[in-house]
Chain A
Amino acid sequence: MAKHIQTIVKANLSATVKTGGCGKCQTSCQSACKTSCTVGNQVCVK
């Protein structure tokens, strides 16, 4: 086990450039006036 760094979440987001983009996800909204999903807290439905 590492002494100085503890990995909490191991992910590979940049690889999803090749696997993602299906467009099936819920429409997102970055607006301050309406709460539909914003990208940061959306889930992938694939």
Chain B
Amino acid sequence: MLDIFNIHGYHISKNVHSYRQGDLLIAHDVNSGSLHLLDEGTYEVIKACESLQESEKEISLEGINQVLRQAGKQTLVEEELSEILTELDELRREGTLFSVEAELVTPNYPERPIVKAICLHVAHDCNLRCEYCFAGTGAFGGSRTLMDFETGKRGIDFVIESSGHRNHCEVDFFGGEPLLNFKVIKDLVDYGKKAAAEKNKTIKFTLTTNGVLLNEKIQAYLEQEEISVVLSLDGRPEVHDRMRPYADGRGSYAKVTPLIKQFAAKRPESSPFAVGNYYYVRGTYTHFNCDFDQDVLHMADLGIKQISVEPVVAGPKDAYAFQAGDLDKILEAYDRLGEELILRRAQDRDFNFFHFNVALDQGPCLIKRLSGCGAGHEYVAISPEGDLYPCHQFVGQADYKMGSLYDENPHQLKGELVQAFRAANVYAKSSCRECWARFSCSGGCHAANVSFTQTLTDVYTLGCELQKKRLEVALYLKINEIQQNRISSPTQEVRC
């Protein structure tokens, strides 16, 4: 029975993540995506086997008990150990635990990139001066400028043409603050809908805004045109105002919060998985609020149901950058947030925290998980001048310019960049190949990786730790939800 642990080259820690979260002992089978609850004895057996494997010792009954003894834990009698191993072996045979490692495939791409999504930087200007803004408070290192209609129109023509046989295109209005250029947005939505319909396509529009200009007229327009909206709010007033002031230093919380609340209330059925016509209120946490769970709860108490709060990406010299000692506080905040969500679910006061959503039952296929975001070949960002970049975070970085909408052939993206981004899949990153979370994070954000390691294939390790914790809590919440009979079936099959 112990053969399951002694398969040459099969590393348990890489392929089965067993961990303790709250009062549960959980085993996540990485390659099948299955989830199991363990009793204490089974958890200890798997952990002991991991330990033996790491010290390159053969896994045996005596070896398991020796590890337990050394850790000061109760050893298992042979009968119990035998029962546990039998159950583990049954799950292995059905392919839901210790399942065979997924085939080492690399995604196949057509020679010419199929770009189906664009980020239109309609405004390189902003009415706020957020401390942590990666866009250099809106200007992306250049001059403060707005995109004209002609450039935006070319952008829409570009995505309709470049998306080839794909019927669904995505256009995100981004900035800076895109509502500073509202007239052009309206004209582009009108143009885009007509141009797409002529090609039997549809465009899904989204807009990311700080909320300052989100008056009733603009809210009504976004509703009428079914534009999904991402709204920026950092949480508690003092947290928000510290990082998101106007140019004169005044905080923006008092202005944007009522408007964001008003808009969120218009979309009570918004999808937690960002499907259809949705909204999300998103914030950024920094060294100054490692207890960001309090900010999430503040927003939930405002009546906001779709919330996302994410870690800042900062240079080491920035005062708000995470420091040694912050990681533990942040991990504890995720734990607290998970417990609070369970409590609020029981009281019918629940809300969605974006990074705790995990669609195990209908999640993306493995190919998608390997390839990640598609920056630089399925998705590009377009500056106000019409320059093309792999994604919004690379805009303004000359080394990453892929072309221009005003080139003779704008579809001829810079080949070496297309190849580099296509090649930067999970298996191209040595640390990801050994990581249990590899099919859930796709190797992290390219821009964050480049920012911290100067390469596309080395990873931003703090980001890894945060991603793994979020996933651990997400799986825990999923199990809790199933146990509370909040979804229909006790066992579910992945649909893909």
Contact = CB atoms under 8 A, between A and B. Distances in A.
Interface in A1-46: 2-14, 16-17, 19-44, 46
Contacts of A24: 166, 168
Contact of A44 (B204, B363, B478, B479): B363
B448 A13 contact: no
B37 interface: yes
Contacts of A32: 284, 310-313, 445, 448, 463
B368 interface: yes
Interface residues on B, range: 35 or more
B197 interface: no
B355 A11 contact: no
Interface string B53-84: 00000000000000000000000000000011
Given A4-B38, A27-B373, A41 B273 contact: yes
A17 B494 CA distance: 13
Interface stretch (B181-189, B253-261, B274-282, B396-404): B274-282
B114 interface: yes
A35 B354 contact: yes
A29 B358 CA distance: 15
B359 interface: yes
A12 B34 CA distance: 7
B36 A5 contact: yes
Contacts of A20: 364-368, 496
Most B CB within 10 A of own CB, among A9, A25, A35, A42: A9
B379 interface: yes
A9 B364 CA distance: 16
B95 interface: yes
Contacts of B347: none
8 closest cross-chain pairs (CB), A and B: A20-B365, A21-B367, A13-B33, A11-B33, A16-B365, A14-B102, A41-B357, A27-B117
